[in-house]
């Protein structure tokens, strides 16, 4: 049996079934023994050669529904945010004429889940914000291809205790440049900021990321005063781009273990030698079953729902391969196992 770990240890088996999940012999006698044979092939029972390994594959993570922040469980995750700051014509003219005063600029993040010791308080005071100084693409940015960042100054002016949301106030001078970028992209830049926990944290926070509906997506609230009327106004803008960048190391594993970490750069590869199956066999169903070692798993408070599986088409090395985009599967958790066809 093969043990597998996705911060989590698993037992792996492949079932290749001819006819159904539980083949029935009804009708087989009518065809004759020389015409059809029904067999269940079990990689554990039939002693199929199998191997596995875990590896680090640096991937862009900006397409994720969630964005991670924290330094826990051997994972350091920083967060890139860029806000779509745009105004109506009247406000834009007031900004151009410097006839507004920016009172505050506050980033609001909705916590979706936590991984680690969520009973402890997250040290928001240890989170710093740094100005990003070059453009970046959320679908391409990775830990080894980050945009330029000015780490000389923490641009967060306040870090209040969270409630159901997390709040980070941005230095008004920086936020005002983002506002002016809405009419002048040459002299004023808006490349966003990077959030980073400067010390270890008891858990990793998963924030709601960009969504098509905008519900609970990261946003910035800009409160400013029109000097002509002395009227205060607050406008919020959601993210134009968000992505998290992961630094982690492959943990020490036994020879029969693999690891998968959701939202990170760790992946695992499995191989089964099925050459003993006749070339003319008709395979009606193929199922992979994974069983977790609950003494080693770490699961966030939204629970483990599924794993994604892809078929490797070409393989250069452990972390250099291509998958067949047409052949994929989702392994769902039920009855203590993770399985899929």
Structure confidence at residue 309 (pLDDT)? 72
**pLDDT > 70 in the chain, percent:** 73
Contact 272, 286 (CB under 8 A): no
Query: Measured between alpha carbons, how far is 328 from 341 in angstroms, rounded to an integer?
Result: 9
Q: Where are the domains of the chain?
A: 2-49+273-340, 66-248
Structure confidence at residue 299 (pLDDT)? 64
> Span 156-184, mean pLDDT?
96
Contact 287, 17 (CB under 8 A): yes
Pairing of strands 100-116, 127-132: unpaired
Query: Measured between alpha carbons, how far is 321 from 295 in angstroms, rounded to an integer?
Result: 32
Query: Measured between alpha carbons, how far is 166 from 297 in angstroms, rounded to an integer?
Result: 27
Contact 331, 6 (CB under 8 A): no
Query: Measured between alpha carbons, how far is 288 from 340 in angstroms, rounded to an integer?
Result: 6
| pLDDT exceeds cutoff 90 at 81 | yes
Alpha helices in the chain (DSSP H): 28-31, 89-96, 172-180
> Span 43-58, mean pLDDT?
74
pLDDT band (50, 70, 90) for residue 206: very high
Query: Measured between alpha carbons, how far is 46 from 41 in angstroms, rounded to an integer?
Result: 7
Structure confidence at residue 253 (pLDDT)? 72
| pLDDT exceeds cutoff 70 at 40 | yes
Mean pLDDT of the chain: 80
| pLDDT exceeds cutoff 70 at 220 | yes
pLDDT band (50, 70, 90) for residue 270: confident
Structure confidence at residue 268 (pLDDT)? 78
| pLDDT exceeds cutoff 90 at 264 | no
CB atoms closer than 10 angstroms to residue 71: 21
């Amino acid at each position: 049996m093969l043990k597998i770990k996705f911060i989590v240890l698993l037992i792996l088996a492949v079932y290749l079934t001819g006819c159904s999940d539980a083949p029935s012999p009804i009708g087989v006698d009518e065809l004759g023994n020389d015409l059809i044979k029904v067999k269940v092939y079990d990689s554990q029972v039939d002693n199929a050669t199998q191997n596995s390994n875990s590896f680090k594959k640096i991937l862009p993570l900006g397409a994720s529904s969630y964005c991670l922040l924290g330094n826990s469980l051997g994972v350091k995750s920083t967060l890139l945010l860029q806000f779509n700051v745009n105004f109506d014509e009247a406000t834009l003219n007031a900004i151009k004429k410097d006839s507004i005063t920016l009172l505050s600029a506050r980033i609001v993040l909705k916590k979706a889940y936590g991984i680690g010791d969520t009973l402890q308080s997250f040290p928001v005071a240890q989170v710093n914000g740094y100005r990003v100084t070059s453009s970046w693409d959320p679908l391409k940015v990775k830990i080894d291809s980050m945009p330029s960042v000015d780490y000389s100054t923490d641009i967060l002016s306040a870090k209040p205790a969270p409630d159901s949301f997390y709040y980070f106030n941005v230095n008004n001078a920086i936020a005002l440049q983002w506002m002016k970028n809405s009419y002048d992209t040459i002299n004023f830049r808006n490349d966003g900021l990077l959030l980073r926990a400067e010390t270890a944290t008891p858990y990793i926070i998963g924030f709601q990321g960009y969504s098509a509906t905008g519900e609970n997506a990261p946003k910035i609230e800009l409160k400013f005063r029109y000097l002509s009327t002395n009227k205060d106004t607050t406008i919020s803008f959601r993210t134009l781009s968000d992505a998290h960048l992961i630094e982690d190391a492959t943990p020490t594993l036994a020879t029969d273990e693999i690891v998968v970490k959701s939202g990170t750069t760790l992946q695992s590869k499995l191989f089964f030698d099925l050459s003993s199956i006749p070339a003319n066999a008709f395979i009606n169903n193929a199922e992979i079953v994974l069983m977790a070692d609950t003494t080693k798993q770490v699961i966030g408070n939204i629970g483990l729902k599924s794993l994604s599986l892809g078929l490797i088409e070409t393989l250069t090395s452990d972390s250099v391969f291509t998958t067949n985009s047409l052949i994929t599967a989702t392994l769902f958790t039920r009855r203590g196992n993770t399985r899929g066809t």
